[in-house]
A and B are shown apart, each in its own frame.
Chain A
Amino acid sequence: MSVEPVLRLNGIVKRFGSFTALHGIDLNINDGEFLTIVGPSGSGKTTLIRLLVGMDSPTEGEIWLRDNRIDMVPANARPTCMVFQSLALFPHRSVGENIEFPLKIRGVSPADRRKRAVDLLELLRLPVHYYDKRINQCSGGEKQRVALARALAFDPEILFFDEPLSALDYRLRKTLEKELKDLHNRTGKTFVYITHSLEEAMVMSDRIAIMKDGRLEQIADADGIYARPVSRFVAEFMGEVNLFDVEGTSQGGLHGHGVEVHVNGKVEDVGIGLDKGERGTLMVRPEFVRFLQSTETNDFIVRGILRGEYALGSRMQYKVETADGSQLTVEKLREDRYTGNMDDEVVLGWDVEHTHLIRGE
């Protein structure tokens, strides 16, 4: 995979009247990558993708597709294409006619169109006899594949996805997530995917861009987003997390606020440290927190009372209440489950390697 950007966004601003939906987005999308833009509703991700496909134009800023500026080019003249949230299949056309639509527009001969449509049906693992099937006779997953096939028939430079899986049930969604990732590998196309589910993004993406209030909060691979979030927002966006407000001490160590966090000396050594008086947030994921035996010690220690146990399938989740009433989440694999009783006094600990410091308020 080359890392030359196929699409460049420079200072994209979009205003609707007095409301600013996007505050200066800068983003490079690499050739052949699977980039997912994630954000809660209202974060501007749908506005952004409408600009990217050409259904709307930015108030300020430029969009470059390789060497061509395209931000004023209408959707039908752009070599990109989108899979809609609603899929937007043509209900009056058969599966085959839907897939062939972009080819028909280009004036490809019926025989060649049909051949390509059949190839795409095979690529998407749909039976070839679906060619003549009506759209409303297809199941949700099949429609999804038809929409994908139609977009691929267009042979776009970049394929955009606007939450196409959000209407499907959980199991089908999980299957299609993997299929999509697989399809990305097989086609080598650039995929730009929009979703509100970071979990979905984690499964599929090479890189993830997190949006909040019309700004890009962080762009990183799944690991970076999960283990090294730049803000509380990103940390909390991805599943369960334990966060502690901390302040730098005169020795360069940390002093916990609210929760009593004992730090066993070696914090400075690994570079987790704040200047005196500087504030930050300490983050540890639930699966890295351990129940300590009375003889054990750890880099970070919190005392509390076990208040809840929940089965999450392969894992067990625990809620531990600390002296000041805040709650910590701990997750263990089933075979490592805590053997004591509810309302036990427990000591929790974790390693500094699994601790991440978010600087700033």
Chain B
Amino acid sequence: MERLDKKLGTLSALPILIVLTLSFLAPLIVVAAFSIMPQKVFSLWNIPDFSAYATVVTQGYWKSLAWALGMALASTAVLFVVCWPLAFAMAKVFGRFTLILTIAVVVSLFVSENIRLFGWILTLMKGGLIGGHLKAWFGIDMDGALYNVPVIVFGLVYVYFPFMLFPLAQGISMVPDDARQAAADLGASKWRILWEIDLPLAAPGIVVGSLLSFVLAAGALAESKLLGGQTVIVMADEVETAFTYGQDWPLGSALSMVLIVIIGSMAIFGVSKVDLDAIMGRKR
């Protein structure tokens, strides 16, 4: 019986396995292979060397990497702080209003990210929605809030909001009410309950939400390009440039590999620390 289950399990997993191998794993392998080709070649049939990686190290690409990771970290931290109260209310307080809120947030995803970012540009630019009103109503001249690092972080927070909110709400809903009540009964203050009960028990949701928003933000391109006006160059930008203007596929691949390895190991580390089965609702 158990063997039959195993067989059926393997069989059912086969289609997605094939799709993932072709669409996810294969390109990854190609990128990995290109990253060890001599620079500026367009074929995989060359003697491998690590010159592309040497360029990554010597040409100061660490700055772009630092900006990408730093802004991803900042936006994740801001997202966590902003989303926690809302997620808590969605999981424990709102009741049926949660559904309306969920739909509202999800609907925002139906509009393409770039269009929403352009909306912010129109809002924040000099003489835009905010600047124009300030000028008209109060006569204040505003220089426009675009083209700086904080606005890029704001953009990341805005775009990846749902990716933090929903896992967090899911995580908080796993915190048993009676554990919170018992902690209060045993003398714990609200902050103490947050620290001792809510945060540790919602950890799977926190890790998943943080990983999702961090990984997405670290690879994000549009925010720094559109809102930031390339005030800073992020890693994804460098990758794009290497593949297009630079015509240097091995360099682009090497840059990608660096990002993939860093983010991948963070993701694996994070996921290994939490019980994903718990958040997926699987009974053990």
Report A's interface with B, CB cutoff 8 A: 53-55, 74-77, 81-82, 84, 86, 88-92, 101-102, 104-106, 150-151, 154
Contacts and interface: CB of A to CB of B under 8 A. Distances in A.
A76 B201 contact: no
A75 B183 CA distance: 9
Given A75-B181, A86-B178, A88-B181, A102 B200 contact: no
Contacts, number: 60
A74 B180 CA distance: 14
Interface in B145-190: 176, 178-179, 181-189
B197 interface: yes
A92 B200 contact: yes
With most chain A CB atoms within 10 A of its CB, the pick from B176, B178, B185, B192 is B185
A76 B184 contact: yes
Given A88-B181, A90-B197, A101-B196, A76 B176 contact: no
13 contacts: A55-B185, A75-B185, A76-B188, A77-B187, A82-B185, A84-B182, A88-B178, A90-B196, A91-B201, A101-B188, A105-B192, A150-B186, A151-B186
Contacts of A54: 185
Given A101-B186, A102-B186, A84 B192 contact: no
B186 A92 contact: no
A150 B192 CA distance: 17
Contacts of B188: 76, 101, 105
Nearest to B188: A105
Top 8 A-B pairs, shortest CB-CB distance: A88-B182, A88-B178, A102-B186, A76-B184, A105-B187, A75-B185, A92-B200, A75-B184
Contacts of A90: 179, 182-183, 196-197, 201
Interface of B: 176, 178-179, 181-189, 192, 196-197, 200-201, 203
A106 B187 contact: yes
Contacts of A151: 186
Given A90-B197, A91-B201, A92-B200, A154 B187 contact: yes
Given A90-B196, A92-B203, 14 more contacts: A75-B181, A75-B185, A76-B185, A76-B188, A84-B181, A86-B178, A88-B182, A89-B179, A89-B182, A90-B201, A92-B201, A105-B187, A151-B186, A154-B187
A53 B178 CA distance: 13
Nearest to B284: A136
B275 to A, nearest CB: 10
A101 B183 contact: yes
Contacts of A74: 184
Contacts of A77: 187
B192 to A, nearest CB: 6
A13 to B, nearest CB: 23
B201 A81 contact: no
B181 A105 contact: no
A311 B239 CA distance: 84
Contacts of B197: 90
Contacts of A92: 200-201, 203
Contacts of B178: 84, 86, 88
A55 to B, nearest CB: 6
Contacts of B186: 76, 81, 101-102, 105, 150-151, 154
A345 to B, nearest CB: 57
A102 B187 contact: yes
Nearest to A90: B179
Nearest to A104: B196
With most chain A CB atoms within 10 A of its CB, the pick from B176, B187, B201 is B187
Contact of B185 (A81, A86, A104, A106): A81
Contacts of A89: 179, 182
A301 B197 CA distance: 64
Contacts of B203: 92
B181 A55 contact: yes
Nearest to A85: B178
Nearest to B200: A92
A188 to B, nearest CB: 21
Contacts of B182: 82, 84, 88-90
